[in-house]
Structure 1
Amino acid sequence: MANKAVGIDIGGTGIKGAVVDVSNGKLLSDRVKIPTPVGGEPDAIVETVQQIIKKLGGVDKKEPVGVCFPAVVVNGTTLSAANVSKSWIGLEAEKLFEKSLGCDIRFVNDADAAGYAETLYGAAEKAKGLIIMTTLGTGIGTAIIYKGVLVPNAELGHIELEGVDYETKASYAAKEREDLSWGDWAARLQKYYSALEAYFHPDLFIVGGGVSKEYKDFLPLLKLDTPIVPATLRNNAGILGAAALAAGK
C-alpha cells in the first residue's frame, strides 16, 4: 500500500485536490481549488482536474489517484449526476479520467469518500461497528461503513417518509428554502434519523455538510439512542477519502 496519494474532490461549484499522506490523513501539499466549469460537462471537468494535478506538480505513475464525484458510481460508471451535466449519466467516467490523466485512478461517490475519511482520520476514528455518515446540503448524501469496510452507493437520503423523498424535507436546502427555525428543522431531522435508526441500528451517526459547523444549534435537539456527532474533516474529507481509497488504505 502506498503512503502517498492524490485526492481530487469534484463538486457542483468547485473542484479541489491535494497530495495526501494516507498513513495519517495529513495534506502534503497546499489544497488547490478551481471553480467547476459552467455546465459541468465531462470534458471540461477532466480538463480542470488536469490543471489541478499540474499545479500539484504532476503525478508519479506509481502514485495512486482518487477522484470523488457527486453521483452513484458502479464499476467506474456514473449512474446519476448532481449539480453537473446529465451527460455523466451512464458515462464510463473512470476510464475517461484514466485515458486523460495517463494513470490508473479510483473513482468513487463523494459522500462515500467523505464518510470513509471520517472513519480513518476524523469523527469516527476510534468507533467500531456500523457507522452512517450523512451530509446535509442541497440534498442528503450518505455513506455506510461497517467494521472499516465501505458499503458503496447508499442513497439513504431518498428514503420515502410522509409520502415524499425525504431529503426534499430534511436537507439543509429545505431549511433555507422554507426559512425553517433550527427547532422546526430539527423536528424533520428527528423523523429522518429515527427512521435510519429503526432500519439499521447503527453504532454511530456522523453529520457532515457545511451546516455541521453549526451543529450546536440542532444536534442537541435530537433524541436518539444512537450517538450522533458532527464531522470533523470539513472541506478536506472528500480529498482524504478519495486518496485513501485509491491507496488501498
Structure 2
Amino acid sequence: MGRLTGGDPSLLRRINSAVVLRALRRAEDAPTLSGLARETGLSRPTVEGVVEGLTEAGLAAEAAAEPGGAPRLGRPARRFRFRAEAGHLLGIAVGPHRVTAVVADLAGRVLGRAGRFVTEGDTVAVRLEAVHAAVDELLRDASVGRDSLRAAGVGTPGIVGADGTVRLCTALPGWTGLDLGTRLRDALGCPVLVENDANAAVLAEHWRGAAAGAGDVVMVLAGLSPGAGSLIGGRLHRGHGGAAGEIGALHLLGREVTPERLLSTTEEPLHPLDETAVAEVFALAREGDRRAVAAVDRFIQRLVHDVTALVLALDPELVVVGGWAAGLNGVLEPLRRELRLYCLRTPDVVLSRLGEAAVDTGALRLALDHVEERLFAVQGALPAGERGR
C-alpha cells in the first residue's frame, strides 16, 4: 500500500468527505459550517466544499430555521443535517412459525414493522412468499419505495455461508443449500446480508438491548433448535465455517431426547412445538402439575448445560437469554443458580430486552453496518441510488 501524502488531492477529498459526513450524521442537532470545522479539525472552506458535495449527492441538506426563534441581527449561520431519509434499510427475520420485516432510515430509526405467520412444514416457496408479502405491506404502510432500499439484512436458522447460502438448516424444510442471499437480492434489488438468527440477535441486543456496552456476550435463543450468538471484544464470532454457537446439535453427541419430547407432558411428542404450546406447559408447572414440573425441570437443565458449555469456553461477561425463555417466567433464577454450581466464574445472566424483535432488529443492524462501511469508506460517500452488490 502506498504512503499517504498530500500529492493525491482526490484521495484527500474522499477522506475529508467521509470525516465530515460522519460528524454530520452523529450530530444531535444541525451544526453550522464553523461547528463542523471545529468537530473535524478541517478548515471552514474545506468543510463548506465537502458539504456542498454531500448536498449534491443527496446525503446532506440545509436545515430549516426553527420557528419562533429570537430575532438576530445579520444573516443567521447556515445549519446542515444528515439526510437520513436519503435511503432505507430492511431487517428480515425468518423462523419456523413467523416471518417479520422492519424498515428504517439511514439513521437506524425504525419506521414500521410487519409480519406473516407460517408453519413448520411450509415449503421454501411458501415461506419466501410470506417474506415478500410482509415486505410489500411494510413498504406500502411506511410509504417507502423499493428504489430507496440501500441494503437488507436477514436472520435465519441454520449455518450461513459468507455468500448468503444456508449451508445447513434442520428447522426449515428445504432450507439447506438455499442461496437465500441471491433469491432475496433479486427480488429486493439491493444488497442482502444473510446471517444466522442467533448471531443477528446478539448484534441487536448489543445495539439496542440488554447487552449494550458489553464487550464479551453470549446470546442464547432457546427454541426448537437452540442456538447461540457471541461477541468477543464487541465483534461477532462466527467461527471458521459460520457454525459457532450451534448448540442445537448437542443432541447428536449422546442426547437422544428431542425438544418435542423434552417438553412433553404426555407419552407423545409435544406438537406443534411453538411458543404457545411451551407457555402452556410452563403455566401448568406453575399450577403444580407433576408432569409439567418435570418437563420444565428438563428444559431448564438442558438450557443450563448448553449455556455452561458456552460460558466455560468463552468466559463472557454477560449471558442474554432469548427465544422461548425470554417470555417465560421462572427460568432466569434457576439458570443463575445452576450456573454458579458449574462455572468457574459466573457471568451476569439477563433476559432479552428485545424479545421477538431481536432477530429482525439484528438483521437491520447488519444492513446498517453494510451501508455505513460504504458511506464512511475512504473510497468516498455512497452516491445516491447506488446498487452495488
TM-score, normalising length from structure 1?
Answer: 0.83
Aligned to 1:127: 214
Structure 2 residue 332 is the aligned partner of structure 1 residue 219: yes
Distance 1:79 1:140 in 2: 17
Q: Percent identity?
A: 24
| 1:68–1:113 Cα contact (<8 Å) kept | yes
Aligned to 2:153: 66
- The aligned amino acid for 1:81 is C
Q: 1:27 to 1:19 in 2, by over 3 A?
A: same
- The aligned amino acid for 2:123 is E
Structure 2 residue 117 is the aligned partner of structure 1 residue 28: no
After superposition, the C-alpha distances for 1:48-69 in whole angstroms (9 at most, x for unaligned) are 2222221122433443211211
- The aligned amino acid for 1:17 is A
Matches within 5 A, 1:151-170: 151-152=237-238, 153=242, 154-158=244-248, 160=250, 163-165=253-255, 168=257
TM-score, normalising length from structure 2?
Answer: 0.55
After superposition, the C-alpha distances for 1:98-154 in whole angstroms (9 at most, x for unaligned) are 1122222111111111111001110100212x2111011112111011222112242
Q: 1:85 to 1:212 in 2, by over 3 A?
A: same
Structure 2 residue 318 is the aligned partner of structure 1 residue 200: no
Measured on the aligned residues, the alpha-carbon RMSD in Å equals 2.8
Measured after TM superposition, the shift of residue 244 of structure 1 is: 0.8
Aligned to 1:80: 168
Bigger Rg, structure 1 or 2: 2
Distance 2:249 2:117 in 1: 31
Distance 1:45 1:101 in 2: 16
| 1:159–1:165 Cα contact (<8 Å) kept | no
Aligned to 1:89: 176
| Bigger mean CA deviation after superposition, 195-204 or 41-50 | 41-50
* Structure 1: runs of 5+ lacking an equivalent: none
Distance 1:162 1:66 in 2: 30
- The aligned amino acid for 1:20 is A
Distance 1:91 1:185 in 2: 31
> Which of 56, 61, 81 pairs up with 2:138?
56
| 2:204–2:362 Cα contact (<8 Å) kept | yes
Measured after TM superposition, the shift of residue 12 of structure 1 is: 0.9
Q: 1:155 to 1:61 in 2, by over 3 A?
A: same
Distance 1:100 1:161 in 2: 37
Measured after TM superposition, the shift of residue 187 of structure 1 is: 3.6
| 2:263–2:298 Cα contact (<8 Å) kept | no
Considering fraction of residues, name the structure with more strand.
1
| Bigger mean CA deviation after superposition, 133-142 or 39-48 | 39-48
What is the number of residues matched between the two proteins?
241
Structure 2 residue 349 is the aligned partner of structure 1 residue 228: yes
Distance 2:125 2:151 in 1: 22
